[in-house]
Amino acid sequence: QVQLVESGGGLVQAGGSLRLSCAASGRTFSSRAMGWFRQAPGKEREFVAAISGSGGILDYADSLKGRFTISRDNAKSLVYLQMNSLKPEDTAIYYCASGPLWGIMRTASRYDSWGQGTQVTVSS
């Protein structure tokens, strides 16, 4: 497992952009799959995006392709989520997650470490 700390959330107007960061501790960061999930009020946690340890494999929720981009910097043990053209329905708590192996990363059970979340609020 690793310790994860998200940052970069905040209030933004519709159409704006935000970049979330997730700082990871631990020596195995570069071998671990990383993902972002989000949970809106009254809704279940949903998959947003995932990236393999090398950064060579990416996966996105179908509804978010083209607006969100996941990336990572293994030298700095950071993973990012660039969010563009934000909509009010993107309002949620965004969670960073880490899993030991790449697989079907849209499933929360693939991850063994979670951050505390960062709030993103998009105003109309």
Convert the pLDDT of each residue in 101-116 to its tens digit: 888 899 999 999 999 9
CA 41, CA 28: separation in Å to the nearest integer?
Answer: 33
CA 37, CA 35: separation in Å to the nearest integer?
Answer: 7
What amino acid is encoded at 109 in this protein? S
> Which stretch of DSSP H or E encloses residue 19?
strand 18-24
pLDDT digits (tens, 9 = 90+) for 73-84: 999 999 999 999
Residue 119 and residue 62 in contact, taking contact as beta carbons nearer than 8 Å = no
pLDDT digits (tens, 9 = 90+) for 43-102: 999 999 999 999 999 999 999 989 999 999 999 999 999 999 999 999 999 999 999 988
Residue 61 and residue 46 in contact, taking contact as beta carbons nearer than 8 Å = yes
Structure tokens given for 60: 């996105």
Q: Give ∠ CA 101-7-60 in degrees, rounded to 5.
A: 45
